[in-house]
A and B are shown apart, each in its own frame.
Chain A
């Protein structure tokens, strides 16, 4: 360990680099290909460089009503993100004490994460169909459906994002020093003040991480949406629909636009986390620096 790096380091470094190339190479290929010239096809070589296909996408001359699907996905993603953050932080706080039904909630979250998405999705669609049938039979014959983006769709997405949120909260509170909070309470803070002014600022970077998971997982969600979203499609569903029919770079352009949103959100979140961490490092603790 004192002398240079062992040979295994170089072997594994190359392995890691190959894995990274494997991860990113294909994605980069389609980002490049979405800038094909107007006569370009689905594969390399590039036939000129243009923004023809991306512009075409925004003109709405493509096969799908991209604008509407885009707005729907964005709306759902933002709502899922907010709900995921609030419910995960609240439940994470609850897990710091023992409470009844603790293990029920824990195992529900784990099960929700690993039960195959198609089953959850099918179950939600059956549930809403049965609710619809009941409403039609007993109250209103002309009732259409209770299924929709913000009912069954939102629920389906939450079954996917909440487990991640909860697990991140576990990770946060595993490292959290409860003495900070106790100190606040000893100084007379109410539980809410202790949370608002002590706990929340400390965990904020990770909470933004939960938001990042909430939005991106919803923005790209497909399997659970497939049966549970109702009559309208989200962007990933439209994209999946295109895979069987399209023969020109439309689909890459759409992929690039969707990814651009993902990368914008990722950079915003990571940037914010970075700034917050820096601020915490710079002036996070004033312990022992006087009583004022």
Chain B
């Protein structure tokens, strides 16, 4: 029989004084902070090279001059003055940039309200009504899989349904509800909002679901026991506890829609102006400083919205 000391010695030689000097004397010990740098450094470098420095360049170039075909590295406010052209002269009428931002904010608001409503109830169903873990996993996966597939394809997918001769129109004509196919179903603000909701409700479902599953079920039972109706429990217990998820989801959806130019381009038939679309148009015209100026404006507005929203909740605490 081994004594307990022998076992201990086999298992962890270092624990017995004098037994494991070879290991303890090993000279090349990396300091913990150096290891942390090795581990986190590469990712930091990627963000530095491909995110932080590019952002700095956006700001710098927004103050450069330009002509028809190239960048001129000299200080100029032309990127901004071109962008805000007519904003004072045309008063009280709105200038192009103001109209564009109003339209973008309107789209943003519509998409936000709809995704929040759908996202909340989908998450609610998954978190509170689906009791079995397996089903919860399966159904969450069902919601996630489209996120792993192509956005453009999910946009194109609406064409056979919403087009002039699409399923919806032919169905409506057949039932006699309308005489002629309606045109506003596709390549319109309607189809843009529909596609954005279709693509990005996922970003609302995940954080809200995350907040909901963390709610202690006994709190809800306590509310019922104290005589609260289902509605009162929802408003006074569940919604306040879900607020972090709601805010995070909202930040995702709002920033995506504010900067979107692809969905608005494809689903709006390239006819609808939006904040992100201006940048794309300017780049295509090789007016980089003007594009950069628009990017800075968009960044500032997005940042303002996020700051306002994160006043409500500490993001870092929720992850």
Contacts and interface: CB of A to CB of B under 8 A. Distances in A.
A binds B: yes
Interface of A: 5, 8-9, 12-13, 15-16, 19-20, 22-27, 29-30, 33, 42-44, 86-88, 90-91, 93-95, 97, 99-106, 108-112, 114-120, 122-127, 129-130, 133, 152, 155-156, 158-159, 162, 166-167, 170, 186-188, 191, 212-213, 216-217, 219-220, 222-223, 226-227, 236, 239-240, 243-244, 251-252, 255, 258-259, 262-263, 265-266, 270, 291
Contacts of A42: 159-160, 163
A188 B125 contact: no
A105 B11 contact: no
B122 A259 contact: no
Given A94-B35, A108-B51, 8 more contacts: A26-B198, A101-B40, A116-B255, A119-B58, A120-B54, A155-B46, A222-B262, A239-B152
Contact of A26 (B161, B259, B316): B161
Contacts of B146: 23-24, 27
B39 A226 contact: no
Contact of B43 (A19, A127, A166, A240): A166
B121 A12 contact: yes
Given A239-B153, A258-B150, A99 B167 contact: no
B157 A187 contact: no
Contact of B129 (A13, A95, A166): A13
B125 A12 contact: yes
Contact of B157 (A29, A116, A119, A156): A29
B265 to A, nearest CB: 8
B279 A122 contact: yes
Interface string B228-259: 00100000000000000000000110011011
Contact of A94 (B40, B155, B258): B40
Nearest to B126: A16
Interface of B: 7, 11-15, 23, 32-33, 35-40, 42-44, 46-58, 61, 71, 118, 121-122, 124-126, 129, 139, 141-143, 145-146, 148-161, 163, 165-167, 170, 198, 201, 230, 251-252, 255-256, 258-262, 266, 270, 276, 279-280, 283, 288, 291-292, 295, 298-299, 302, 306, 315-316, 319
Nearest to A18: B118
B261 to A, nearest CB: 6
Contacts of A265: 148
A90 B43 contact: yes
Contact of A126 (B148, B276, B280, B292): B292
Main SS at interface, chain A = helix
Contact of B32 (A97, A213, A270): A97
Of the candidates B7, B11, B160, the one having the most CB atoms from chain A within 10 angstroms of its own CB is B160
A224 B14 CA distance: 52
A216 B149 contact: yes
Contacts of B55: 115, 119-120, 123
A12 B252 CA distance: 24
Contacts of A93: 39
Of the candidates B38, B252, B262, the one having the most CB atoms from chain A within 10 angstroms of its own CB is B262
A191 B149 CA distance: 38
Contact of A12 (B13, B124, B283): B124
A283 to B, nearest CB: 21
Contacts of A219: 150
B52 A243 contact: no
Given A8-B129, A12-B121, A99-B40, A240 B152 contact: yes
A130 B257 CA distance: 29
Given A12-B121, A227-B283, A22 B198 contact: yes
B132 to A, nearest CB: 13
B149 A162 contact: no
